[in-house]
Homo-oligomer: A and B are copies of this chain.
Amino acid sequence: MLSEVPSFNQLLKLLQQVPYLASKNLYRVAFHFLMMDPRNLEQFCKVLLQAKHNLEQCSNCFNWKEKDRTCSLCSSAKRDQAIICVVETWQEFLTIEKTGGYEGVYHVLGGAICPLEGIGPEQLTIEPLIARVQRGVREVILATNQTPEGEATAAYIASKLKNVEVKISCLARGVPVGSSLEFMDRLTVYKALSERRPF
C-alpha cells in the first residue's frame, strides 16, 4: 500500500540514511515529522544546514570549530598545549573531555588504521600529528581504542615518533571501576595484574 504514496516512500528512504535510527522506529520518526508544525520543520532544516555551514574541522587538532573563530582548544591559555591526547574520533574526544580531568589538548585522527576497510595511515591525520609533535611537544598520549585496529594505529604512530624527542604514553589497562573481577575477561585481568601499580 505504501508504494502508492511516493512522498512517503521517499521520506522513509531519507530516514534510512540516518545512522543509529532503528528500522522499527523509522515509521514513528516519519510520523513525528509529518505531525510537526510546518514552521518548526522548516526551522529544523534551517538549523541543520546552518550547523553544517558554520562548523569546520580545525586544521591543527581536527576537532570541530566555528568557521569564523579560532579553535577554542588550540587557542586556550588554560590548556597545556604541550600535551596532546590522540583519539580516533570525535566521540572519544568527548568521552575524555567529559571526565573533566584532562588539561591538555587533543588530536583527532579520524579513525583507525584498518587495511580491510581500505583505511591506511594516509587516510588519517597522522602526518599533521607528526608535524605538530615535531614543532615541540612534551607528551603524546595515545588514547586509541583497545581494539586490534586502535592498537595497530597507536603502534604505527609510536614508530613514526621514535626519532622525535617526546614522551609517549597510553591509557592504563585494567579492571573498570565498579566491576567485579569474577566477570572480567582473562586478558583484562592479566593486564591489570601485569600493569599493577603501588597502592
Contact = CB atoms under 8 A, between A and B. Distances in A.
Report copies per complex.
Answer: 2
> Do most interface residues of chain A lie in helix, strand or loop, or is the interface mixed?
helix
Contact of A7 (B18, B42, B51): B51
Nearest to A4: B72
A170 interface: no
Contacts of A22: 20
Contacts of A173: none
Number of chain A interface residues as a range: 35 or more
Contact of A45 (B8, B34, B48): B48
Contacts of A17: 44
A42 B14 CA distance: 12
A77 interface: no
Interface in A1-39: 1-2, 4-8, 10-11, 14, 17-22, 25, 27-34, 36, 38
B97 A48 contact: no
A36 B55 CA distance: 12
Contacts of A116: none
| Those 10 A-B pairs whose CB atoms lie nearest each other, nearest first | A45-B45, A20-B25, A11-B51, A4-B72, A7-B54, A14-B47, A7-B51, A19-B32, A7-B55, A41-B52
